[in-house]
């Protein structure tokens, strides 16, 4: 490996493919020397890397433990059972399916398990923070099912009651009017706690099922920093790679009653052979998330987002909803500079070594490709050990970068400071120099 930064525990085995080896080395350097503030990303443990790089990738295992279509699955069955048992224990769920290749697949499988084509689903508006799989015109979900939506309350301008939080009156009104068969809670860009209880009440009042999409807060829920939707929602979907800090993938938790429908919707309904190497890595991550250190981590993620948000407010940005209660900070760039778009801000920050993504803000006047907002997340940097002092430095660096966005020399100076900061918090200290 040409880079001093390790990309995996198995770097040395890539000598026969110098092209891929070089690319992995470059990516390891990027992840180690720039600030990872994408809210949906994290740094897995070396153990998760090892399991997901393992020989389980060789095995076909269509079906479920004890009911596979191919032979040779004795060990794989134990791996998948371990992952399922650890996941149900972690969240106190009755049933778990750990096969979804991604969060999007988990959502699709649940819709398929619970609904008929054409049925109505009530979910969060995309421009208020909903996910593509919550009925985007570009997603197959909107072609198969009929989506209606709720959003957040308007921004009030009053710092004590800033608004831009889920409007439960609207959820109830739309539910009464549209009679959805399924209500979906969950969001991809929303910095507040999502309380599952009011959703449950509204779902019961109209006879709807309730799915909680915990793709983002799964780790905060596992770590006790957010209320759990398990036992409240009929089904909970999650990704394993965001705040939960496992390998890239999805999972579904459900009541025992819905177990069969969920399992057959995942396979054979939606997917073929499961990724058992990823499932082993999920098992590793679920065990990690059940330790007391993970509770400390989840609390620190929330504290760090708060510190980052405060530093950014200090630098002149407006925080959508006036603050944060999770791992995300959603910035309205217009108060900082009315001309600055999310697209330009993302590009300039990238040049300074600060990685984040543009995002629409509620009722954004700009298109989803341009946007007036930025979404930042604290989950990955918290894993490296950064805390409040670093969040304050980063908030100031973001302000400086965007202030001096046409000044290449200043961007270069920020980049050097970012590199120095990151080198003090290596994501993989035990792999370094491998």
Interface contacts to ligand PLP, rule CB under 6 A = 40, 102-104, 107, 131, 133, 186-188, 213, 215-216, 239, 250
Residue in the shown chain whose Cβ atom is closest to ligand PLP: 103
Angle, vertex CA 272, rays to CA 271 and CA 276, nearest 5: 100
CB of 90 to ligand PLP, least distance (A): 18
Count the Cβ atoms, other than its own, within 10 Å of residue 415.
18
Q: Could you say which of 22, 26, 33, 60 is catalytic?
A: 60
332 is catalytic: no
In b/e form, how buried is each residue of 365-378, taking b as 16+ CB within 10 angstroms?
ebeeeebbbbbbbb
60 is catalytic: yes
161 is catalytic: no
**How far apart are alpha carbons 203 and 179 in whole angstroms?**
9
Of 190 and 317, which has the nearer Cβ to ligand PLP?
A: 190
CB of 360 to ligand PLP, least distance (A): 14
Of 124 and 411, which has the nearer Cβ to ligand PLP?
A: 124
Of 298 and 421, which has the nearer Cβ to ligand PLP?
A: 298
Of 305 and 411, which has the nearer Cβ to ligand PLP?
A: 305
Of 73 and 105, which has the nearer Cβ to ligand PLP?
A: 105
**Hey, what are 137's tokens?**
């015109």
Q: Give the list of residues 6+ apart from residue 211 with CB closer than 8 angstroms, or none.
A: 107, 110, 114, 182, 183, 184, 185, 186, 233, 234, 235, 236, 237
CB of 139 to ligand PLP, least distance (A): 10
Q: Could you say which of 239, 240, 360, 382 is catalytic?
A: 239
406 is catalytic: no
CB of 15 to ligand PLP, least distance (A): 32
Radius of gyration of the chain (CA): 22
213 is catalytic: yes
Of 247 and 353, which has the nearer Cβ to ligand PLP?
A: 247
CB of 134 to ligand PLP, least distance (A): 7
User: Parallel, antiparallel, or unpaired: how do β-strands 373-377 and 250-254 relate?
Assistant: unpaired
User: Parallel, antiparallel, or unpaired: how do β-strands 357-359 and 373-377 relate?
Assistant: antiparallel
Of 123 and 203, which has the nearer Cβ to ligand PLP?
A: 123
Q: Could you say which of 125, 181, 200, 248 is catalytic?
A: 248
CB of 127 to ligand PLP, least distance (A): 14
Angle between helices 388-403 and 342-351 (to 10 degrees): 110
384 is catalytic: no
Cβ atoms of 178 and 122 closer than 8 Å? yes
CB of 83 to ligand PLP, least distance (A): 17
**How far apart are alpha carbons 332 and 31 in whole angstroms?**
26
Phi, psi of 343 (to 5 degrees): -60, -50
H-run or E-run covering 416 = helix 408-423
Question: DSSP letters of 62-131?
Answer: -EETTEESSS--HHHHHHHHHHHHHHHHHHT-SEEE---SSHHHHHHHHHHHH--TT-EEEEE-GGGT--
Residues forming the active site:
60, 62, 213, 239, 242, 248
């Amino acid at each position: 490996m040409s880079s001093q930064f390790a990309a995996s525990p198995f770097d040395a085995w890539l000598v026969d493919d110098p092209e891929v080896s070089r690319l992995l080395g470059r990516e390891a350097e990027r992840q180690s020397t720039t600030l990872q503030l994408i809210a949906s990303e994290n740094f897995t443990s070396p153990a998760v890397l090892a399991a997901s790089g393992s020989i389980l990738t060789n095995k076909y295992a269509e079906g479920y433990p004890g009911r596979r279509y191919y032979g040779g699955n004795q060990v794989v069955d134990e791996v998948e059972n371990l992952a399922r048992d650890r996941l149900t224990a972690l969240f106190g769920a009755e049933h778990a399916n750990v096969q979804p290749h991604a969060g999007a697949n988990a959502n699709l499988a649940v819709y398929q398990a619970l609904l008929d084509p054409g049925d109505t689903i009530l979910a969060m508006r995309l421009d208020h923070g909903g996910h593509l799989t919550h009925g985007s015109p570009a997603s197959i979900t909107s072609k198969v099912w009929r989506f209606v939506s709720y959003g957040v309350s308007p921004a009030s301008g009053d710092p004590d009651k800033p608004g831009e939080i889920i409007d439960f009156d609207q959820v109830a009104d739309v539910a009464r009017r549209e009679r959805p068969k399924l209500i979906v809670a969950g969001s991809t860009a929303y910095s507040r706690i999502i309380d599952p209880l009011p959703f449950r009440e509204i779902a019961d009042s109209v006879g709807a099922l309730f799915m909680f999409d915990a793709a983002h807060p799964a780790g905060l829920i596992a770590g006790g920093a957010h209320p759990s939707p398990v036992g409240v929602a009929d089904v909970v979907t999650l990704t394993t790679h965001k705040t939960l800090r496992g390998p890239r993938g999805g999972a579904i938790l459900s009541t025992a009653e819905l177990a069969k429908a969920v399992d057959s919707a995942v396979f054979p309904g939606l997917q073929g052979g499961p990724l058992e190497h990823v499932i082993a890595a999920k098992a590793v991550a679920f065990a990690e998330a059940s330790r007391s250190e993970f509770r400390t981590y989840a609390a620190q993620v929330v504290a760090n987002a708060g510190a980052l948000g405060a530093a950014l407010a200090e630098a002149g940005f407006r925080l959508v909803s006036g603050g944060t209660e999770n791992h995300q900070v959603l910035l309205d760039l217009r108060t900082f500079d009315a001309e600055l778009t999310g697209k330009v801000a993302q590009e300039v920050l990238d040049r300074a070594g600060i990685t984040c993504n543009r995002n629409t803000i509620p009722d954004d006047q700009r298109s989803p490709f341009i946007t007036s907002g930025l979404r930042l997340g604290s989950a990955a940097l918290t894993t490296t050990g950064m805390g409040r002092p670093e969040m304050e430095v980063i908030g100031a660096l973001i302000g400086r970068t965007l202030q001096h966005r046409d000044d290449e020399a200043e961007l270069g100076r920020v980049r050097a400071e970012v590199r120095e900061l990151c080198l003090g918090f290596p994501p993989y200290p035990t792999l370094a120099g491998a």
